[in-house]
Amino acid sequence: MNSDAIARPLWRRLIGFNLLGGIVLGIVGFYFGWWLGHQIKADSLDYFGDTNQNDVALMLGYLFSVIGFLVGLGFANYPLARMLGRDRSHVENEEGGVGRYFGLCTDHKVVGIQYLLGIGLFFFIGGVNAMLIRAELLRPSPQLFGAGNYLTLVGLHGTMMMGIMTSGVLGPFANYFVPLMIGARRMAFPRIEAITFWLLMAAGTILMTTIFFGGFPTGWTGYAPLNVQANYGFDSYIFFFALVGLSMMLLGLNMIVTIISMRAPGLTWSRLPIFCWGALSTSVLMVLAAPVLIAALLMVAFDRSVQTSFFLSSAGGSPYLFQNLFWFFGHPEVYVLALPGFGIILEILPVFARKPLWGYRTAVAGILGVALLSFFVWQHHLFVSGLNSSLRPFYMFSTEAISVPTGLVFLAGMATLWRAKIRYTVPMLFCLAWFFNFFIGGASGVFLSDVPSDVSTHGTFFVMAHFHYAIMGGLIFAFFAAIYYWVPKMFGVALNERLGKIHFWMMFIAFNSTFAPLFALGLMGMPRRVVTYPSHLQPLNDWVSVSAFVLGASMLVFLGNVVYSLVIVRKPAPANPWESRSLEWTTPTPVPVGNFDRPPVIDSDPYDYGVPPVALPPPPAAQAPAPG
């Protein structure tokens, strides 16, 4: 952006490789792919006439729309230029104003803020769907949306949340702060970092278009063979997870390489901030688990369009194959959601306890242990499915064993509070609430991991309560802790403390009021994803629905706080309002493009609270003038 030239007219500035260009080319690409799909005619595909739903056309449409979107944003410019032998800087758009945020920008801090806003948008959409679901469940028979649309709402809520929030912490906060915490000037692969964000935005948009194609009836788990039977609204689910999986893999790859190879001098592994350990282990899970999902969905796409039978028992396939592939991804996926929460909580706790993180090695062992074990537990989702019954004791043991490293994380957090001087700021409140919620989530997980107990609770609202406590009570509370903690650094403006406390208390109380009764509902015989229930369960469902509306209102309080503090009032925050000793707070606000003028040299971990200041040796005595 040339700041000295005569300002060009707005319409001239809008045309170019930016979001608008991306959207335009995306739409063009969609119609091109749609047209292309309709040109494909073959004997084996002639059933299209019967179903009136051309899956190949829709999937090609999505494919070309994503390609068009990315080309329009400008991602192809650098590779093409280099392939044509031309010189081109690999830095894109790092100088300039607000316009950077609406396109391809290689500055990791811009990508972090893009992620924060983009994820916030889709989190809001997922939340609206949740409110609609609870509105339908106010009465025992479907009065509002009808059974089919209700299933689409349920599927949209779950799918949107699970897909978007996997990058919910790593996207905004790890991308922004990991380079700052390790003393690096940038991430290892800035262009890849930018593409992970735009892939996620494309994915979320594609998922929302499912309502134009009839929605999908499978819920977020998308089991075969129901997904083969589903109409072509399901193709948007396939594409959503394919893009999310790709985004996850690339984000994880970038994070791993950055943390391993770009640490500042003196930053040994034992001085690495615990948040970076959380990001690192999450990234390993992302890289290893996401490809399995993409492969499984590719098989589903083939089953749906070209009549293969991977998942159809009558033709030699097996529905178990999909369940196993899905959960091999699905279980590490939920730890992708939980581990960043661990990292954030343990990172923020020392700052407000004014104490070092207790048991650093213990905490790291806990995080790595959870990450490792998460690959060995997936069949606990399949205890009553009829899989080989002698495998079940093993998976019961491995699932219960995950509570051991999780316990180590709890120990580190709890002991950090011992003889602390706790300062009850809003981030600290969210951290403390995390322990309460995640304990309930974890304890209910122990009940679910026990096979006999699981026989009654699998597939019921008990499971819903368990994972909402672990994911929403865990990840989302940590997410808000991170927001309140880091917004002063990211935007130079602090969020209003009083509104923050109102948000916290409303959210904490409404959250528990919403999800605790679900344990009871599950035990009383209410399965998941049902639009109708016995009428004697209505009072409890109504209580849950009203609490959910209050929970939604607490999010509006948060949004109000954001608008009030960040848009309207904009009172500048002090440079280090929380007096944190972590490296990111030593940079000026706003953080300059290269982060640090010189790579910092690290001599300790960032948790030196409560350590008496080291007495410096006295300066060499000034030479007293010789007497006389």
Q: Which of residues 204-223 bind another protein (CB under 8 A)?
A: 211-212, 214, 217-219, 221, 223
Residues 203 and 237: their CA atoms lie apart, in Å, by: 9
Residues 596 and 598: their CA atoms lie apart, in Å, by: 5
> Could you identify the residue written with the tokens 């700041």?
3
Nearest Cα neighbor of 359 from 421, 418, 408 is 408
Among 76, 411, 546, 550, which residue sits at the site for another protein (rule: CB under 8 A)? Answer: 411
**By the rule CB under 8 A, 577 interacts with another protein:** no
Piece of the chain touching another protein by CB under 8 A; list 76-84, 142-150, 251-259, 539-547: 142-150
Identify which of residues 124 and 375 has a Cβ nearer to another protein in the complex.
124
Alpha-carbon distances, residue 18 vs 22, 41, 94, 99 (angstroms):
6, 36, 14, 9
Piece of the chain touching another protein by CB under 8 A; list 24-32, 145-153, 181-189, 540-548: 145-153
**Two tokens at 267?**
């930053």
Among 408, 409, 470, 602, which residue sits at the site for another protein (rule: CB under 8 A)? Answer: 408
**By the rule CB under 8 A, 168 interacts with another protein:** no
Piece of the chain touching another protein by CB under 8 A; list 99-107, 252-260, 448-456, 615-623: 448-456
**By the rule CB under 8 A, 534 interacts with another protein:** yes
H or E segment at 548?
A: helix 538-562
Dihedral over alpha carbons 302, 308, 310, 314 (to 10 degrees): 140
Identify which of residues 65 and 406 has a Cβ nearer to another protein in the complex.
406
Residues 68/26, Cβ–Cβ less than 8 Å: yes
**Partners of 493 in the β-ladder:** 572
**By the rule CB under 8 A, 99 interacts with another protein:** no
Among 424, 572, 601, 603, which residue sits at the site for another protein (rule: CB under 8 A)? Answer: 424
Q: Quick check: helix, strand or coil at residue 461?
A: helix
Nearest Cα neighbor of 489 from 607, 582, 610 is 582
**By the rule CB under 8 A, 318 interacts with another protein:** yes
Among 72, 225, 474, 600, which residue sits at the site for another protein (rule: CB under 8 A)? Answer: 225
Alpha-carbon distances, residue 319 vs 392, 551, 612 (angstroms):
19, 37, 62
- Nearest distance in Å: CB 126, another protein: 13
**By the rule CB under 8 A, 28 interacts with another protein:** no
Q: Compute how many residues bind another protein; rule: CB under 8 A.
A: 122
Residues 338/470, Cβ–Cβ less than 8 Å: yes
Residues 387 and 369: their CA atoms lie apart, in Å, by: 27
Piece of the chain touching another protein by CB under 8 A; list 24-32, 378-386, 488-496, 587-595: 378-386
**By the rule CB under 8 A, 572 interacts with another protein:** no
- Nearest distance in Å: CB 309, another protein: 8
**By the rule CB under 8 A, 513 interacts with another protein:** no
Nearest Cα neighbor of 106 from 193, 21, 174 is 193
Mask 582-601, x = binds another protein (CB under 8 A)?
--------------------
- Nearest distance in Å: CB 419, another protein: 4
**By the rule CB under 8 A, 414 interacts with another protein:** yes
**By the rule CB under 8 A, 608 interacts with another protein:** yes
**By the rule CB under 8 A, 8 interacts with another protein:** no
Among 9, 85, 386, 620, which residue sits at the site for another protein (rule: CB under 8 A)? Answer: 386
Among 380, 458, 489, 503, which residue sits at the site for another protein (rule: CB under 8 A)? Answer: 458
DSSP 271: G
Among 3, 261, 388, 623, which residue sits at the site for another protein (rule: CB under 8 A)? Answer: 388
**By the rule CB under 8 A, 268 interacts with another protein:** no
Alpha-carbon distances, residue 237 vs 121, 208, 213, 443 (angstroms):
18, 9, 11, 32
**By the rule CB under 8 A, 390 interacts with another protein:** yes
Q: Quick check: helix, strand or coil at residue 493?
A: strand
**By the rule CB under 8 A, 151 interacts with another protein:** yes
Identify which of residues 452 and 628 has a Cβ nearer to another protein in the complex.
452
Identify which of residues 210 and 282 has a Cβ nearer to another protein in the complex.
210
Identify which of residues 79 and 610 has a Cβ nearer to another protein in the complex.
610
- Nearest distance in Å: CB 389, another protein: 4
Give the other-Cβ count within 10 Å of 619's Cβ.
6
**By the rule CB under 8 A, 401 interacts with another protein:** yes
HEC profile for 105-172? CCCHHHHHHHHHHHHHHHHHHHHHHHHHHHHHCCCCCCCCCHHHHHHHHHHHHHHHHHHHHCCCCHHH
- Nearest distance in Å: CB 503, another protein: 18
Burial-class residue 145 by CB neighbours within 10 Å (0-12, 13-18, 19+). Answer: middle
**Two tokens at 279?**
């990001």
Mask 32-71, x = binds another protein (CB under 8 A)?
--------------xxx-xxxx------------------
**By the rule CB under 8 A, 445 interacts with another protein:** no
DSSP secondary structure of 164-200 = HHTTTTIIIIIHHHHHHHHT-SS-S-HHHHHHHHHHH
Among 455, 497, 572, 575, which residue sits at the site for another protein (rule: CB under 8 A)? Answer: 455
The separation between the first and the last C-alpha atoms of the chain, rounded to the nearest angstrom, is 68
Among 102, 375, 400, 499, which residue sits at the site for another protein (rule: CB under 8 A)? Answer: 400
- Nearest distance in Å: CB 132, another protein: 7
Among 40, 260, 295, 404, which residue sits at the site for another protein (rule: CB under 8 A)? Answer: 404
Among 21, 319, 332, 427, which residue sits at the site for another protein (rule: CB under 8 A)? Answer: 319
DSSP secondary structure of 205-239 = HHHHGGGGGT--SSTTTT-TTHHHHS-TTHHHHHH
**By the rule CB under 8 A, 368 interacts with another protein:** no
- Nearest distance in Å: CB 594, another protein: 29
**Two tokens at 117?**
């806003």
Residues 156/91, Cβ–Cβ less than 8 Å: no
Alpha helical stretches, state H, 262-318: 274-305
DSSP 457: H
**Two tokens at 53?**
């739903």
Sequence letter at residue 614: V
> Could you identify the residue written with the tokens 């948008």?
121
**Partners of 460 in the β-ladder:** 527
**By the rule CB under 8 A, 302 interacts with another protein:** no
Identify which of residues 193 and 347 has a Cβ nearer to another protein in the complex.
347
Identify which of residues 440 and 507 has a Cβ nearer to another protein in the complex.
440
- Nearest distance in Å: CB 165, another protein: 20
**By the rule CB under 8 A, 525 interacts with another protein:** yes
Identify which of residues 108 and 331 has a Cβ nearer to another protein in the complex.
331
